[in-house]
Amino acid sequence: MLIRTLLGIWRRSMSRIPNLIVLGGAVAVGKSTIARRLAQALKHHDRTVRLLQSDVIRKQLIGAPLREQAPSYCQSDAFRSFIYRTIHEAARLVLTLDGRAREVVILDASYTGRSSRDELQNVCDPGAEGMVIRRFWLDAPLEVRVERAQLRTDDASDATAHFARMQQIDPPSTNENWIFVDNASAPHLCLERIWDHFPTVSE
């Protein structure tokens, strides 16, 4: 255990932390849990982290308490598109500020449709000097996601177990540059897998 811990610390010290980290995946796959834990870990590496979560921003924009069910119009395609544009614009503004080198933006949203993933190209120029981007698609079996939806209480998401069963998912194709990460077990294992995909300082 000690050796594994030391290896993990060494691996993190050799990592080049991305400027933009995107977490996508189906309902109740664990995106928000991983996003919050990843943000905490990055702060320990002296990074300023901006965590942009679609569920939270949706409630803020309509003036609803985070734990209160949002009105039905919030589930419309037009409103969802508006939420994506909002978080993408917020991320773009953060990433274009001076001192970007120590600024990390984490986007936490479903991205279960191709159009929402295509809009990510408006956030920043992946070819910009010094810009590092990682897109992670979290994955877990349907039965795991349904159980998580049934158990969660203190969460901004309105999605139920029924919605998890019925959700239509269009996962990223191989040419979209998303990294598939298993999140069917403990969150710390998923975090390790994510960190393993950060580039090293020599890259």
Domain ranges of the chain: 18-196
For residue 14, what pLDDT band results from cuts at 50, 70 and 90?
Answer: very low
Quick one: 18-196 is in which CATH superfamily? Answer: P-loop containing nucleotide triphosphate hydrolases (3.40.50.300)
Give the integer Cα–Cα distance in Å for 48 and 100.
9
For residue 103, what pLDDT band results from cuts at 50, 70 and 90?
Answer: confident
Give the integer Cα–Cα distance in Å for 113 and 81.
10
Looking at the whole model, is its pTM more than 0.85?
Answer: yes
In 3D, which of 121, 106, 91 has the Cα closest to residue 24?
A: 106
Name the average pLDDT for the chain.
Answer: 85
pLDDT at residue 203 is higher than 50: no
